[in-house]
Amino acid sequence: MNFEDFNFAPSLQEGLDTMGFTKPTPIQEKAIPIVLANKDLIACAQTGTGKTASYLLPLLHKIEQEDKDDINTLVLAPTRELALQIDQQIMGLAYFTGCTSIAVYGGGDGISYEQQKRSLTEGVNIIVATPGRLIAHLTSGAINLAHLKHLVLDEADRMLDMGFYDDIVRIISYLPAKRQNLLFSATMPPKIRSLSKKILHDPEEVNIAISKPSEGILQQAYLVYDDQKIELLEQILSNSEYKSVIVFASRKETVKKLNSALNRKGISSEAFHSDLDQDSREDIMVRFKGKSLAVLVGTDVISRGIDVVGISLVVNFDVPPDPEDYIHRIGRTARAETTGTAITFINEKDQRKFGRIEAMIGAEVIKIPLPEEIKTGPTYEPEAKSKKKFNPNWKKKFKKKPNS
């Protein structure tokens, strides 16, 4: 099947031809006809499958055939990075059309808020927004969504994980009852099913199975105690073959401490987390994409919202909380038919979680012996009960009690 088979508007097809897009991905082949038929859709597809274009292309086609004076489509996304990425895709796909869009997100100063407000007041066809900032504009009266025809929830599972459920429900209260609803999620837990029942009407379903990690990724793991992790990471980063590195941690407090520890050891890195203002986040990402910054330390915020070719190493400083997150994290390397390495640090508490990851990918990840100077780590027992074990390399100093 080719994109020409969808009979898109000529201006939209011209954009696809210019970018060299000829064949749709599996999610695009299944989802596009449903969206074109004006049906609601719930789709399970992970990042990297082409899901964004699977809803943008049919929506841009419909916008081309409709009145462009009103806000036509609202896309909700969990993070600023993903909102910007979606907006950039719209600009590329809609280059030869008359469609307009704006990314609405928080984290900037008052000037950026006023710029967004002015653009929204003047009118755009597609709004790509994070929930919190959009609510601020809705309550101020800057946006009129009375004529909205399409609502898209992208990365819906991540939005719920980040606590946006009430915000989503509040935003929907501003929308017309008659609209097309499209929900995309990398996973399909019960809370997503519950949300879909509230907002979707007789939806079609599309499920693209979670793909295995790219064959170009060399997956490795170390069994370590927590107090061995930083020393091990320093040794790994001293390897000159790793020119572009992302280190993932599950908590932003860990990201901040880890970044400070690396800087103290003379390793140039930057911490990327939700506490940064937008200018700082954009500056870090520009330097990382431009290869002037070699090491990026971040949370899962960047596991789904960054698309950089040439990342040579991904390090999971701790085992990600869900097996799907492991796929998203290590998928930042070996993109666009390149190769890369993914290394995970497994402490004694995270072994069962890593065992579930190996079960999901259907393969055992190579466990590498620790360097001699770091001594030994815990034994790998993924089926054992999760409990903290004694670290033989850590010696406590006991003070003798004075004789009574």
**pLDDT at residue 30 is higher than 70:** yes
Gyration radius from the chain CA atoms: 23
Stretch 189-207: mean pLDDT: 91
pLDDT of residue 346: 97
Beta strands in 93-241 (DSSP E): 101-104, 126-129, 150-153, 180-185, 204-207, 217-223
Question: Which pLDDT band, with edges at 50, 70 and 90, does 398 fall under?
Answer: very low
Q: What is the pLDDT of residues 340-386, one digit of tens each?
A: 899 999 999 999 999 989 988 888 999 999 998 898 899 999 886 54
Answer yes or no: is pLDDT of 393 > 70.
no
Res 48: pLDDT: 65
At 293, the amino acid letter reads: L
Local confidence band at 336 (pLDDT 50, 70, 90 cut-offs)? low
Are the C-beta atoms of residues 242 and 268 closer than 8 Å to each other? no
Q: Is residue 391 over pLDDT 90?
A: no
- 95-124 per-position pLDDT tens digit: 999 899 999 998 766 677 888 888 888 888
Retrieve residue 289's tokens.
Answer: 């994409």
| Lowest-confidence segment of 47-51, 153-157, 239-243 by average pLDDT | 47-51
Asked if residue 40 has pLDDT above 90, the reply is yes
Task: Look at 334 and 294; give whichever has higher pLDDT.
Answer: 294
**Fold: same for 3-207 and 217-374:** yes
Q: What's the CATH fold of domain 217-374?
A: Rossmann fold (3.40.50)
Lowest mean pLDDT among 139-148, 226-235, 317-326, 329-338: 329-338
Could you tell me which of 6, 12, 9, 67 has the C-alpha nearest to residue 31? 6
Q: Where do the domains of the chain lie?
A: 3-207, 217-374
CATH fold of 3-207 reads Rossmann fold (3.40.50)
285 vs 172, higher pLDDT:
172
**pLDDT at position 210, please?**
62
Read off the pLDDT band of 400 (50, 70, 90). very low
Q: At what angle do helices 26-36 and 51-64 cross, to 10 degrees?
A: 30
Structure tokens at 348: 């004694």
**Contact of 104 with 120, CB cutoff 8 Å:** yes
Contacts of residue 239, defined as CB under 8 A and 6 or more positions apart, other chains included, come to: none
Return the higher-pLDDT residue of 313 and 325. Answer: 313
The string of DSSP codes covering 74-106 is EEE-SSHHHHHHHHHHHHHHTTTS---EEEE-S
Say if strands 41-44 and 180-185 run parallel, antiparallel, or are unpaired. Answer: parallel
Give the mean pLDDT of the chain. Answer: 86
Q: Work out the average pLDDT over 194-200.
A: 92
According to DSSP, the residues that pair with 127 across neighbouring strands are 74, 102
Q: 297 pairs with which residues across the strands?
A: 247, 271
Q: What pLDDT, on a 0 to 100 scale, did the predictor assign at position 209?
A: 67
Q: Quick one: three-class SS letters along the chain?
A: CCHHHHCCCHHHHHHHHHHCCCCCCHHHHHHHHHHHCCCCEEEECCCCCCHHHHHHHHHHHHHHCCCCCCCCEEEECCCHHHHHHHHHHHHHHCCCCCCCEEEECCCCCHHHHHHHHHHHHHCCCEEEECHHHHHHHHHHCCCCCCCCCEEEECCHHHHHHCCCHHHHHHHHCCCCCCCEEEEEECCCCHHHHHHHHHHCCCCEEEECCCCCCCCCEEEEEEECCHHHHHHHHHHHHCCCCCCCEEEECCCHHHHHHHHHHHHHCCCCEEEECCCCCHHHHHHHHHHHHCCCCCEEEECHHHCCCCCCCCCCEEEECCCCCCHHHHHHHHCCCCCCCCCEEEEEEECCCCHHHHHHHHHHHCCCCEECCCCHHHCCCCCCCCCCCCCCCCCCCCCCCCCCCCCC
- Most confident residue range from 172-181, 183-192, 244-253: 172-181
Q: What are residue 183's DSSP bridge partners?
A: 42, 153
Q: What is the pLDDT of residue 273?
A: 82
- Provide DSSP, 329-347: HHTTSS-TT--EEEEEEE-
Q: How many Cα atoms sit within 13 Å of 333 on the Cβ side? A: 26
CA–CA distance, 157 with 159 (Å, rounded to integer) = 5
Q: Greater confidence, 86 or 400? A: 86
Q: Please give the span between the terminal C-alpha atoms of the chain, in angstroms, as a whole number.
A: 87
Cα 224 to Cα 239: distance, rounded to the nearest angstrom:
19
